[in-house]
Structure 1
Amino acid sequence: MLHWDKDSVQRKHSNRTESTKSFKTARVKVLDLRNVHQNFWNVWTGGKHGIHSAETGSEKQVAKRIHRYALRWRMKVVTDLSLSFPLTEYQTCLLQWAQNRKDSLRLSCLKMKICALPVKTIREILNIFHPNYIEELEIHTDQVLSFLGSFAPCLGQMRNLIKFRLRQTRSISGSGGLRFAEVKKCTAKFLSHFSKLNCLQHLSMHGDFSSGHMKQLFRCLKIPLESLSMIACQLSKGKYGVVSDCLDLNQLTHLNLSGVVVSPLSTGPLHVLLKRVTATLKTLELEGCRMKVSQVSALLPALSQCTQLTKTSFYDNESSMAVLQDILHHTRNLS
């Protein structure tokens, strides 16, 4: 459970009694605690830049949702949080305060980062935040297997999730001494919930995921991705075809396959993958893929057709002066 020292907090804030009274009498409907740009107050009061020039499409949608739910609740609090163990005093007080006022207050977190928190604590927090309103989620965990299986139902509730990043700080094969059948069951349970994420556009998976896991994941995705990062995943021995065959690539603009070993058998499927995204791809990262000079050269004809490309990286692969000249030759016409 979430605990806090109520007396201590009251002593620290006793000098703010008058401010609190003024805050209550103002009858605030929406309290936004997120970080904002420096011109926030000018924008809020209708400054020279104007409201419409500062708001993004996402922020306008959030404002509409805030207005709609403000009619149902006395107050709506919007915040972004980066949570790690132990929680800070501010975070604990905010969560406890919201938990005690669930009948009259709606606490909404649009961007959440979770680092090494027990699943039990995460569930308690999400019961306060209502997972349906989270749009960006980043998770760092070393309890991979137990976490994947236990967190799966929470992920399935995040129907408005746009960005998801999972970074494993310890590999699946080295976790908990679980049997292969248990490993497969936990991972399959977790990946199946991606079929409920109808808004997901940006996906980053960093860890010991195999081609079979990726195949299941891609088949669960409902809409085309705009960005895909599969860092240090196991896609060697020609399995790049999993990405090309199972994933809708019509809107892919950012692709990061750093740390994924590109074997000689993988070069052909990777070439096909690049040819499928020539019309949309803007950034390509293939760092630390153990590619030989001949493999890098084999990808360059497809790379030269990526007319929207603005950034590419082959760092930490085998190189030579000849292949560098070849790269410059194939990219010289890219504006």
Structure 2
Amino acid sequence: MSIRTPPTLLQLAGKRLLRDQALAIAALEYLPAELFPQLFILAYRRRRHKESLKAMAQAWPFTVLPLGGLRHRLRVNILKTVLDGLDVLLAQEVCPRRWKLRVLDLRNLGADFWRMWCGDSTQEPPPICPVDVHRSSPNIEHPLTPVEVFLDLNFKERDRDEFFMYVIQWAQQREGLVHLCCKTLRIAAVPFQRVRQVLDAVQLVCIQEVELKCTWDLPTLRMFALYLGQMRNLQKLSLSHIHILGEEEEVEEQEEDVQECLKTPLEKFTISHCRCLTNLDLTHLFLSPHLRQLKSLTLYCASLADFSPVFLRALLEAVTPPLQALSLDKCAMVDSQVEAILPVLSRCHQLSFFTITQNRLSLATVGKLLRHTAGLRSLELELYPVPLECYTTQGTVNMERLALVRAELTGILRELGKSRMILLVNKHRGYPEYYDVEFSCQLDCSVPL
């Protein structure tokens, strides 16, 4: 028989107070700030306490209300209740003494806030995030407003159109009093018309991150590129499962459209699950001046098997010098291609994360990688594939061979004379398996002669 955790005194007091909504609302003026989160959660979970929620939104004693971080999905009717409370404040010419709320955060970022305040009472509650971390995108000019609302446009979730449009229309109707900021746009397998309706209603200049996973046709991609061009503060772009079908000239024109629409240098660029990449695709993308300041480049499950080593080296030379993270996982790369990019890798002195797993590389090539990356002082995490010599004809790892390979790689690390740990990752179809290879100068020096 399971034993349920008894409610805390704070929870019991909150439940007792909420039995009388009039009493609860009147008590808010005298309630300590640290009791608000627990009382808010209790009222949120009980639909009949809408007036209490509305009153708490008006009296919220912190600068940020992370409404999107609640464990259960935020419902439109609850959102309406909170916004009704804000409307009362916005309608007042003079701010009330206890009105401290500056940011309504509808993104799913505040779970720790609610967990700490309303969970284990023995732990010290975290400080409320300052308004500074909720600033709009850089270089955005907008009038100072009493309240900023942050919202992620995530079309991966179903049936969110009503939620998005309600927030957008509410903010539009209160222009000058509310500034709506949407920093992230995620699109996955939805009709473009659904997305377009929302994009037409928000300030695209606020968007900093775009994730696109779809199979739209060329005309649709071209229309989306026009919206992309208005995202002048875009920093991160991720393209996944993009399958462009059409005549070569049409595809080339579309790639040029996307390139021309990028208005500012990107910091992070990702291509994943795009197996039909051509020389033309990568040439248009990598030679764009907006990729010359990349801090993170990820190619995952993007087949590079048909690319010549010289071509890959030229492409990486265009983007890699400022890189801090480089991922080339599951790209069907072979020894000759990796050897061609070794000189480029050795010059990435800001690189702190490097992974090239699930590629068919020999022990000799993995050893060359270790030697060419040995001079990168910022490198903290390195993941390499289990060398081909370790696999059986059935595709499984022979543990005896693996032990010999790990010993040989340890010898290379010892030869290089620098404390270092790398991880070897097998090409198992299920969960990856990791094998560490480590050398420590201190341990080596402590061994008696």
Same fold flag (TM > 0.5): yes
Match of 1:125 in 2: 198
Q: Note the residue ranges of structure 2 that are not aligned, 5 or more in a row.
A: 1-46, 55-80, 91-100, 118-123, 391-401, 421-449
Q: Tell whether the 8 Å contact from 2:353 to 2:380 is kept in structure 1 after alignment.
A: yes
| Cα distance in 2 between the residues matched to 1:63 and 1:26 | 26
TM-score (norm 2): 0.59
Q: Tell whether the 8 Å contact from 1:166 to 1:204 is kept in structure 2 after alignment.
A: yes
Shift of 1:167: 0.9
Shift of 1:297: 2.9
Aligned pairs, how many? Answer: 307
What do residues 294-323 of structure 1 show as CA deviations (whole Å, max 9, x unaligned)? 332332211322322222222365243344
**Is the partner of 2:329 in helix, strand or coil?**
coil
| Cα distance in 2 between the residues matched to 1:145 and 1:64 | 32
| Cα distance in 1 between the residues matched to 2:261 and 2:138 | 27
Match of 2:269 in 1: 203
Shift of 1:251: 2.5
The letter of the residue matching 1:204 is T
1:309 equivalent in alignment to 2:379: yes
What do residues 258-284 of structure 1 show as CA deviations (whole Å, max 9, x unaligned)? 12232343133221221121x222211
1:271 equivalent in alignment to 2:342: yes
Match of 1:148 in 2: 221
Shift of 1:26: 1.9
Mapping of residues 30-45 of structure 1, within 5 Å: 30-34=103-107, 35-36=109-110, 38-39=112-113
**Is the partner of 1:91 in helix, strand or coil?**
helix
**Is the partner of 1:327 in helix, strand or coil?**
helix
CA pair 38-182 structure 1, distance change in 2 beyond 3 A: same
**Is the partner of 2:201 in helix, strand or coil?**
helix
Match of 1:260 in 2: 331
2:351 aligned to 278, 281, 284, which one?
281
Shift of 1:224: 1.5
Match of 1:221 in 2: 289
Match of 2:406 in 1: 324
The letter of the residue matching 1:119 is F
TM-score (norm 1): 0.76
2:280 aligned to 212, 215, 218, which one?
212
CA pair 144-294 structure 1, distance change in 2 beyond 3 A: farther
1:164 equivalent in alignment to 2:257: no
| Cα distance in 2 between the residues matched to 1:56 and 1:313 | 38
1:62 equivalent in alignment to 2:120: no
**Is the partner of 1:240 in helix, strand or coil?**
helix
Match of 1:23 in 2: 86
Q: Does 1 or 2 have the higher relative contact order (CA < 8 Å, sep 6+)?
A: 1
The letter of the residue matching 1:181 is E
Task: State which drifts further: 219-228 or 311-320.
Answer: 311-320
What do residues 116-150 of structure 1 show as CA deviations (whole Å, max 9, x unaligned)? 22223322212222111012221211226444322
The letter of the residue matching 2:318 is C
The letter of the residue matching 1:79 is L
Shift of 1:61: 4.5
Match of 2:366 in 1: 296
1:188 aligned to 228, 235, 256, which one?
256
Mapping of residues 91-102 of structure 1, within 5 Å: 91-98=164-171
CA pair 244-214 structure 1, distance change in 2 beyond 3 A: same
Shift of 1:104: 6.0
Q: Tell whether the 8 Å contact from 2:303 to 2:330 is kept in structure 1 after alignment.
A: no
What do residues 174-212 of structure 1 show as CA deviations (whole Å, max 9, x unaligned)? x4xx22222222222223323x123x2111112233333
The letter of the residue matching 2:86 is F
CA pair 129-334 structure 1, distance change in 2 beyond 3 A: farther
Q: Tell whether the 8 Å contact from 1:297 to 1:323 is kept in structure 2 after alignment.
A: no
What do residues 11-66 of structure 1 show as CA deviations (whole Å, max 9, x unaligned)? xx9973672554322227643223226348999xxx99767xx6698x26539989
- Give the superposed CA RMSD: 3.6
Q: Tell whether the 8 Å contact from 2:323 to 2:351 is kept in structure 1 after alignment.
A: yes
CA pair 246-215 structure 1, distance change in 2 beyond 3 A: farther
1:232 equivalent in alignment to 2:306: no
| Cα distance in 2 between the residues matched to 1:243 and 1:269 | 11
Q: Tell whether the 8 Å contact from 1:211 to 1:242 is kept in structure 2 after alignment.
A: no
CA pair 167-334 structure 1, distance change in 2 beyond 3 A: farther
**Is the partner of 1:94 in helix, strand or coil?**
helix
| Cα distance in 1 between the residues matched to 2:125 and 2:168 | 37
